[in-house]
Structure 1
Amino acid sequence: MKSSITISFLALLSWLSACQSSSSKNTEVPLAGEPTLKTTVIVNNREIIWGMDFLPNGDLLFTEKKGTIARYSTNGTIQEISGVPAGIVSNGQGGLLDIKVHPNYATNGWIYISYAASESGVNGAVLKLTRFKLNGNTITNTETIFQTKTPNTWYGHYGSRIIFDKAGLLYLSIGEGGSTSYGGVGSGNMNAQDTKSDWGKVHRMTDDGKVPSDNPVLPGNTTATTVFSYGHRNPQGMTYDPVNNRIWENEHGPMGGDEINLVEKGKNYGWPLVSYGKNYDGVAVSSNPTSNGITDPLKYWVPSIAPSGMAVITSDKFKSWKSNVLTGSLKFNYVSRAVLQGTTITKDEKILEGIGRVRNVKQGPDGAIYVAVEGPGRIIRVTGE
């Protein structure tokens, strides 16, 4: 009996060793019904890559915070795009941020970018949403369709993700433009609760920047504006779920209190009135993390993971992970995989651990997941097998 036990124990050690060896490679050992992940670096040695989106032919456009746009072609070449708008401010958290190809690009040719921009005689930077067309690799027909009415003097919390819904309406997330810790009633953090301010909001507009007729009239206003929801701190992840017609968003808290939310018309998401986070002096932002009239997050992280980028898996290539929601972690260098039951997050698993500071996550038209990481700037293609 003792000999049998010894042999079994040695066999177990051998199996564990094999598993450990396998997981150190660029594939992950799956559970039954789950995909085996394979990673391939397709873009390397760049600056901070912030935004990514695909042209109909499969080419990948990406932005760098410093103010450049490049095209990664399906043949593996990278070409720089010329004619990027002047006046981009890359101080602090600013720079050239997101990029989004119009869903009807094949017929209208529009591409959208968001960026922090200087204005003559103004202290700070406004956030602009500009669209343009491409003639080869040259930008033409540049047109700014939205910009914040007031500047961001702290040069941070720009948010700045761009998505479209199935009706062709455009959504732009904007942070509150305030300091890292809540500074009180008179601080810039309160922009998020000021329904007349553009900061700390998710905006909803037509593809040329107009206010849709069914946008909400928010408290304190007499007419609808582009503001769709408010009370957001720094939403650097936002994605559209075309299957369920849902808008998912993630945002940074201070020390803890990072959130995942479903963005809904006219809702107040609480910042800085309530939060699960603490200020950087260790004092809780609010005595209670919930309140009447405030929409609670579907998930929050304590401590912070510094979420950025977001994607919903719609591809069958990822097997049982289909419909899961992915969020990048800048702080802990992994991708969070949220499992859903309806709109309830039942599980949050770390995948691609150690991949690097994740700035963006995007599902491509080929069904693969594309992850932009920092240090150096890379884009990694992730496939499920």
Structure 2
Amino acid sequence: MKKLILSVALVGATTLAFGQKKVVRDAEKGFKSGDLSAALTAIDAAATNPETSGDPATFVLKAQIQTKMFGADSSNTMETLKVGNSALATFGKAMEMAGGDKGSATGKAVFADELPGIPDNLRPYSVNTLKNLSFDKAIDRYNSEDLEMAYEFFNLAGEIDKTDSTIHYNAGFLANDLGRFEDAKRHFNLLLELPEYNKLNAYYFMVQILSTEEKNPEAALDLVTKARDQYPDDKVLAEYEIQLLLQLNRMDQAMAQIKEALANDPNNPGLWLRSGYLKEQSGDVDGGLADYKKSVEIDPEFYQGNYYTGALLLEISTKMLNSLNDLSDAEWEKQSPIIGAKADENYKEAIKYFEKASALQPENTDVMIILYQINTRLKNTAEAEKYNQKLIQLLGPNWMDN
């Protein structure tokens, strides 16, 4: 009797195992035929049964089914993304069960190469297929101006391949554009770890995020210093370094960097502007004015150069006129006409720089107000009225009261 009971039990166990293996075969059949919903139902049953749930091949097949479903969904929405994320997680589970061995049968199936242009029926539907499908979906969403989903699909592709510079640059670029700065930093940092990759653009983005969005100029300067070690001749990095040193009030370092940068790039108006600013701040007003003028000589269309030159000429005149207040009455009578005439010469010179600045930014009312005030002082009645009318048109008849 005991032998009979044992025999019946063995038959039952064999039948059960055969049944579960049939479920896996049904899943394979659905996967190949395209009946993916039925295939997923079958493989989910196998993945929860003790007889087949311990076999990593079960989860490889499930991931392949999910990957095929991901590719077949052309809506490319968050629901599509969920399927892709699930496929990646299932591939990960299969590899975990295989001890992470890429050389095993499981590893070879998970990481099977996908040849370009291969027909769908020959695609391995490996994790590399999942990456390529996600990249294609990202491009589709980008071309449709759905930048949020474009980023999500690039991000999924990047989760699969940490070394694909095209994927991570696109993901970082979009994340930055969307204001997702932590995500952008994560992708750009991955690019900075790639040994043969030209990292300049990644450095540019990272410096801007650190200095502007995170308001952390110290960290930005540290990164620029690291970047300049790798790219010592890059002019953009040199300018970033100067800007950050100015922001951190490290004037001596900034001046040294400007001199070095000007030696390599003497026709850069922005560098001459910064040199002038540093000289002005250090008390060398004449040197600052000369450098501001130099920036405009190099590029007459340089708005900042024109504005800073005009502004410094006005400041020089103001200080000259204020100096009269310290004189005795007798000295005031003597010096006032002389100093006043010198101040007016600066005002006249300033006009041409502010007029150029106004031409470059014709809607800038601040510059118009300055021109109105200078022309009023110099008794250029017609010119002053011209700017008054422009300001009335732009700011209203009571603009002087604002």
TM superposition score category, shorter chain reference: under 0.3
Which protein has the bigger helix share? 2
Between 1 and 2, higher relative CO (CA 8 Å, sep ≥ 6) is seen in: 1
- TM-score of the aligned structures, taking structure 1 as reference length: 0.21
Which protein has the bigger strand share? 1
Larger Rg: 2
